Amino acid sequence: MGEPVYSATDFSAPAMVEGIAQVVELDGKLAWLVPEQTTSCGGCASASACGAKGIGTTASRLELRRFQLVNDAGLRIGERVVVGIRENALIKASITAYAIPLATLLAAGGLAQWAAGSDRVTMAAMFAGLALGLVFARIGAGRMLLRGDLAPRFIRRASAGDTCNS
């Protein structure tokens, strides 16, 4: 039994952030997909001269973000599909990855400055706080993964005119 598919007019359904991905590999009941490039990076007029290209090619960056889906829909290699995650899952993920380490970093720095008042001690305390925050983030991300919040869901097959921003 697959996940329920929410239609665009069902306002009781949780808001989904949608994206388009292409099936690149089939592995038994699983399909491996690579997200398509969004216009936020690579679609603008200066894409050919963008400094972000120096860090890695677009293709290699997208390959790093490869993910898997249970292939209940009988997907084939090369097919484009619309996948989605819950909107609040993206916000929760951002809080887990960035806000928790930042909060522990600043709390540790504030305490160290109040107690010692030295730049070097504050710096060391902030790095310790960051490391502690990353441990908390790892635990939080593990819980989200167990609840299935981080897993993209299959919504529908993409039509020829569908783009990441349509």
| Closer by beta carbon to another protein, 75 or else 84 | 84
Give the Cα separation of 86 and 14 in Å (integer): 7
Among 32, 73, 150, 162, binds another protein (CB under 8 A): 150
When asked if residue 85 is in the footprint of another protein (CB under 8 A), the reply is yes
When asked if residue 9 is in the footprint of another protein (CB under 8 A), the reply is no
When asked if residue 47 is in the footprint of another protein (CB under 8 A), the reply is no
Among 32, 36, 61, 162, binds another protein (CB under 8 A): 61
Instruction: Draw the binding track, 110-139, toward another protein (x: CB under 8 A; -: no contact).
Output: x--x-----x--xx--x---x---x--xx-
Catalog residues that contact another protein under the rule CB under 8 A: 17, 35, 38, 40-41, 44, 50-52, 55-56, 61, 64-67, 85, 87, 89-91, 93-99, 101-102, 105-106, 109-110, 113, 119, 122-123, 126, 130, 134, 137-138, 141-142, 144-145, 150-151, 165
